[in-house]
Amino acid sequence: MKKTALTIALALAFGSASVWAEQTIVAKSHFVHERSAVNSEGVLLRGSQTHPAYKQIVGLLPKNWNLVFTKQFLAIAPLTWDEGEKWTDVLDAWGKKHNANVMIDGKRKQIVVSEEQNKRPAGTVFVFSGNELHQELYNPEQRYSEAQQYVFNRLEAMQGTVHDEVSLHQAQAQLFELMVDVADTKQKQAIAKAKEELKPKPPIVRGPLTIYPNGDVEAKLKEGFLKAQVIDLIVAGQQVSDESSVIWNVSDNHRWPNNYTLKAGSLNELYARLLKTYGIKVRFSANNIAIVEYI
C-alpha cells in the first residue's frame, strides 16, 4: 500500500502543478527559492555535506514542494545524502534515524515533519489531504496546525513580532534565516574566543613572585634574612590566606646571600630549591597552614 501511495505521490509531484499544488511561495530567501537537486524521476543529482536539516530542504525537495517542521530539535537534526538516492528514501532514512515522522502530502505538495508518536511512525508516511481514510488515520490538518504553531511562536520569540499577512512558508523562511544568523554569530564568537585563548597570556606578578601561564615560577630574592622573604613568597603563592597562617619553626637568623632570581617549574619545586641548602622544608596542612620546619 505504501509503494502505491509513493507512486501516486511522485506522479503528482511531477504532473500538473496547476491541478493539485498550492501557489508556490516566492520570497527573497535562501529557504524558499527553487534550487532543487531532484530530477524528474525523483533522484538526487548531487550529494550533500552534513548540515542541519533546515539548511538542506531546498536542495532535497522537488520543485514546488515545501516542508515544515513542528519541533526545533528536528529542524536542527543533521541531514545528508548521496548522489543517486531518491529524495523520499533520504527522508525516510532520516526520519527513522531521528525518530521523526515525515508526512508527505501528495495533494498539497507539502511535507510536515513531526515527532514520532502513536499513528506517527518514524520514517515517511504518504497521505492525501481530503481523503477521509487518511484524515482519520493521520489527521493532516492537525499536523499543519502544529507546524504553524511552532513556526510562528519560534519566529515571534526570535524577532519580537510577526506580520499578520505572512504565510506559514514565508514565516518559516524568515525563521531559518534568523537561525542561520544566530548560528553564524555563535560560530564567530567561538572563533574569536579560540583566537583569544591562543594569545600569549601575561605572567601573574604578586610581590616577589612571578607565575607564568605554563606553570613556571620565579622568585626575586634579596640579600638579607630568609624568614621575611619565605613568608612573602608563601603568601604570594596564595596557598595560605596571610602571614598569620605561616608557622616558622626554624631559626630567625638564616640569611640569603645576594640579590638573585630563583626559577623553578612549580611553587613546591621553588620552595625545595630555596630551602634545601638550609636543611629546611615547608609543609602545608589540611587547614591551609604552612609550617616551615627542619628536614
Give the range of the structural domain holding residue 249, as residue numbers without chain letter.
204-294
- The per-residue pLDDT for 198 is 82
pLDDT value of position 26 = 33
Average pLDDT, integer, range 154-177? 79
- Give the angle subtended at the CA of 81 by the CAs of 71 and 146, to the nearest 5°: 15
In a domain, residue 244? The reply is: yes
For residue 229, name the pLDDT band (cuts at 50, 70, 90).
Answer: very high
Max alpha carbon distance in the chain (Å)? 104
Residue with more model confidence, 177 or 115: 115
- What is the spatial distance between Cα 71 and Cα 290, in angstroms, rounded to a whole number? 58
pLDDT of residue 254: 95
Taking a C-beta distance cutoff of 8 angstroms, is the pair 86, 13 a contact? no
* pLDDT at residue 220, rounded to an integer: 96
Whole-model pTM? 0.53
Both 172 and 231 in a single domain? Answer: no
Give how many domains the chain has, as a whole number. Answer: 2
Task: Give the DSSP letter string of 242-267.
Answer: SGGGEEE-S-TT-EE-S-EEEEESSH
Q: Are 31 and 176 in contact (CB under 8 A)?
A: yes
**pLDDT above 90 (res 247):** yes
Sheet containing 260-264, strands listed edge to edge, beginning at the edge strand earlier in sequence? 204-206, 209-211, 217-221, 260-264
Residue 164 lies in a domain: yes
Does residue 127 lie in a domain region? yes
pLDDT in tens, 44-96: 999 988 888 888 887 888 888 888 899 989 999 999 999 999 999 999 999 99
Number of C-beta neighbours around residue 276 at 10 A: 11
pLDDT at 245: 94
pLDDT at 131 over 70: yes
Q: Flag the least confident range among 65-79, 169-183, 251-265, 273-287.
A: 169-183
188 occurs within a structural domain: no
Asked if residue 153 and residue 16 are part of one domain, the reply reads: yes
State whether 12 and 143 are in the same domain.
Answer: yes
Q: What's the CATH number where 284 sits?
A: 3.55.50
To the nearest whole percent, how much of the chain has pLDDT over 90? 42
pLDDT (0 to 100) of residue 199: 83
The answer to the question of residue 199 being in a domain is no
- Residue 249 sits in the same domain as residue 210: yes
Q: How far apart are CA 288 and CA 275, in angstroms?
A: 20
155 and 273 co-located in one domain? no
Tell me what pLDDT residue 172 has: 82
Report the relative pairing of strands 246-248 and 224-225 from DSSP bridges: unpaired
Contacts of 288 by beta carbon, 8 Å cutoff, 6+ apart: 239, 240, 241, 245
- The pLDDT tens digits for 13-34 are 333 332 223 333 333 445 544 4
